[in-house]
Amino acid sequence: MSSFLKIAIRNLLKGPSTDPYPFGETFVPKGLRGKIKYNAKACVACRMCEHVCAGGAIQIREVADKSGLEFILWHNTCAFCGLCEHYCPTKAIRLTEDYHTAHRQEDKYRYVEKGFIKYVNCARCATPMVPIAFELLNVAHDQVNEDIEKLRHLCPKCRQERALR
């Protein structure tokens, strides 16, 4: 049997196989690589995401008044490849399942994901520094005890001095 008729009739009885989107729901699996979400609290400003981003969609820059770092991601330049998420040590950057990227033409340069990492002062010498995220401690240590927690508030230099003491 090599007639297509049987298959054609079966398909006809099955009805349309397209989704009614945008008037109804469509197939969105868990784990879809959609718009990026950034969590400034977990970010340690290692800039790996900026380095691996193929389109150059990510920028991390110090703000004019030197009070911290600003993270900007242009959704329109993002290729949804997920390399930033893969290489992020603290998973501060991740891809969401949100695929809705329609926006007005006049908004195209404002269509960004932003975050701000405010510098904190070192508990000992008051040098401004990028706060050390809890997530990073969890990557580096099996268990975070009180001593390690204290070191978190010191700048690299003071931390070194304390460790050598």
List residues binding other proteins (CB under 8 A).
1-4, 7-8, 11, 17, 27, 29-33, 51-55, 79-83, 86-87, 95
The minimum distance between CB 93 and other proteins, in angstroms, equals 14
- 8 A C-beta contact, residue 97 and residue 21: no
Buried b (16+ CB within 10 A) or exposed e, 32-47: eebbbebbbebbbbbe
The minimum distance between CB 151 and other proteins, in angstroms, equals 24
Closest CB to other proteins among 39 and 77?
Answer: 77
The minimum distance between CB 157 and other proteins, in angstroms, equals 25
CA quadruple 33, 68, 136, 34: dihedral, nearest 10: 0
Closest CB to other proteins among 7 and 164?
Answer: 7
The minimum distance between CB 59 and other proteins, in angstroms, equals 15
DSSP label at residue 59: E
CA atoms of 1 and 4, how far apart (whole Å) = 9
Closest CB to other proteins among 30 and 104?
Answer: 30
The minimum distance between CB 42 and other proteins, in angstroms, equals 20
Closest CB to other proteins among 4 and 109?
Answer: 4
CA 120 to chain centre: 22
CA atoms of 39 and 44, how far apart (whole Å) = 10
- Residue 10: count other Cβ atoms within 10 Å of its Cβ: 9
Closest CB to other proteins among 7 and 13?
Answer: 7
